[in-house]
Amino acid sequence: MRHLSVPSAQTQHWLEFCRSEKWLAEHTGVSTLDDGNKAIPLNDSAPADGDAVWMGLAMIILEAKAKTPSHWTEHLDPELYLLHKEDWPKAYETQGDVLIVKLEDSIWDAAETMADAMLTQLPSVRLVCADLGVQGDFRVRNLHPLASRDGTVDTRTRIKENGYLLWVDPSKVYFSARLSNERIETLATAKRLSERLNRGIVVADPYAGVGPSMGALLGEPGLLDGYHAGDLNPDAVDLLSENLTHLAQKRKDVNGDVAPLLHPSTVVCSDATTWALDESMKGSCDLLLVNLPHDSIEHLPHVLPLLRRNQTSVLRGWAIVERAQEEECKRLIEDAIIQAGGRTESLGLHEVKGFSASKSFVCFEAWIELAE
């Protein structure tokens, strides 16, 4: 195949020129020559060697270099691709080596072929699953395995977020990588609180899932004195325990030495609304995380008593609220703080992401002081 040999620095210019003239050969790419020049593949309609248009550049004959596909759809049979052109999934999510994808009904007959194409394109993926929606009280995804690289269909896998490792299992426990920025914000808040109190803090994370917030907090030297973490979903608590053990082992103090043991270091599988009935937990925390977005506000009266009294403490939570009801939501949060015997120093609420046309997913943060 004819190739135009161009100095490396001019590659982009000549590629664009040949593309605009429709002289580029299809299904093949640019190669690097021994002298450092780049070889641009040309089709039969490109002018002959020596034409003035090439400005004296040499033409050479090379074998066409196979172009590596840049998208999984390029591994599909072209006829099959065109048959469902508009319906192939445009996006997918990965958790560790598990790929999760929502499918249009029209794609189901070709779902396995699609999953094989994804495995071919994405070497870090082991298992491709169709997402059939959330189910049950713990809002866990119903996943249907479509294709596996090694025959295993276990959805337990490990992810890395903001530098820490977490075991997750998308078919058993809720986890959203899209909220990783929230964990960074939680860490920033915890650091401000620790500076304000001038000591390490104790956090309560009663809706912890696999523990992503704990990952962010435990990674910060000297920040935490202790924690109460838990979830009502037993599968979540299994993964949470494993993650906390690993995160705690890696902890360092501010000098980079092995950090002192955390106290408390409670992991519980129980309804968060019952935690404050336990005298050892009541009034024991400086920072309270409330992440049950559909019910966070209703749960506040039950969990606020976990915060220490007669000092500044922080409530940080997430909720799904009607767009027009954000002020009403703030009022409900303030009411719950007053009912708990508290005074609000500041209360912020902002949208993190859209949830539906009428609802938004918000984060709220209140700096408060509960009286004795």
Ligand X SMILES: C[S@@+](CC[C@H](N)C(=O)[O-])C[C@H]1O[C@@H](n2cnc3c(N)ncnc32)[C@H](O)[C@@H]1O
Report 264-283 residues binding ligand X (CB under 6 A). Answer: 271-273
- Alpha-carbon gap, residue 16 to 10, rounded angstroms: 10
Residues 225-254, interacting with ligand X (CB under 6 A)? 231-233, 236
CB of 149 to ligand X, least distance (A): 27
Question: What is the distance, to the nearest Å, from the Cα of residue 227 to the centroid of all Cα atoms in its chain?
Answer: 24
CB of 131 to ligand X, least distance (A): 16
Contacts of ligand X in 156-175 (CB under 6 A): 174-175
Shortest distance in whole angstroms from residue 233 CB to ligand X: 4
x/- contact string, 293-332, with ligand X (CB under 6 A)? x---------------------------------------
- Report if residue 292 touches ligand X, rule: CB under 6 A: yes
By beta-carbon proximity to ligand X, the closer residue of 204 and 208 is: 208
| Residue of this chain nearest to ligand X (CB atom) | 209
Distances (CA, A) of 325 to 5, 148, 182, 322, 359: 64, 45, 22, 5, 9
Of the candidate spans 23-31, 286-294, 325-333, 344-352, the one that interacts with ligand X by CB under 6 A turns out to be: 286-294
Residue 41 or residue 209: which is nearer to ligand X going by CB? Answer: 209
Among residues 95, 243, 284, 291, the one that binds ligand X under rule CB under 6 A:
291
Cα–Cα distance for residue pair 28/42, rounded to 1 Å: 10
Q: Give least dist CB 211 to ligand X, A.
A: 7
Q: Are 297 and 336 in contact (CB under 8 A)?
A: yes
Q: How far is the CB of 28 from ligand X (least distance, A)?
A: 46
Indicate whether 54 belongs to the interface with ligand X (CB under 6 A).
no
Least distance between ligand X and beta carbon 341 (Å): 23
Question: Quick one: which of 258, 257, 275, 274 has its CA closest to 266?
Answer: 275
- The nearest distance, CB 232 to ligand X, in angstroms, is 4
Q: How far is the CB of 226 from ligand X (least distance, A)?
A: 18
CA distance 207 to 275: 11
Give me the 196-215 binding string for ligand X, x by CB under 6 A, dash otherwise.
----------xxxx--xx--
- Taking CB under 6 A as the criterion, the residue among 11, 138, 197, 320 binding ligand X is 138
The residue among 16 and 271 lying less far from ligand X, judged by its C-beta, is 271
**How many angstroms separate the CA atoms of 117 and 35, rounded?**
37
- The distance of closest approach from Cβ of residue 349 to ligand X in the complex, given in angstroms and rounded to an integer, is 18
- Residue with smaller CB distance to ligand X, 41 or 230: 230
User: Which lies closer to ligand X via its Cβ, residue 39 or residue 281?
Assistant: 281
Q: CB neighbours (10 Å) of residue 206? A: 28
Which is closer to ligand X, CB of 115 or CB of 202? 202
Residue with Cβ nearer ligand X (95 or 194): 95
The CB-of-248 to ligand X minimum distance in angstroms stands at: 18
User: Strand pairing partners for 318?
Assistant: 291, 363
Helix axes 296-303, 326-339, angle to 10 degrees: 10
- Let me know: does 149 contact 119? Beta carbons within 8 Å: yes
Q: Which parts of this chain interact with ligand X (CB under 6 A)?
A: 138, 174-175, 179, 206-209, 212-213, 231-233, 236, 271-273, 291-293
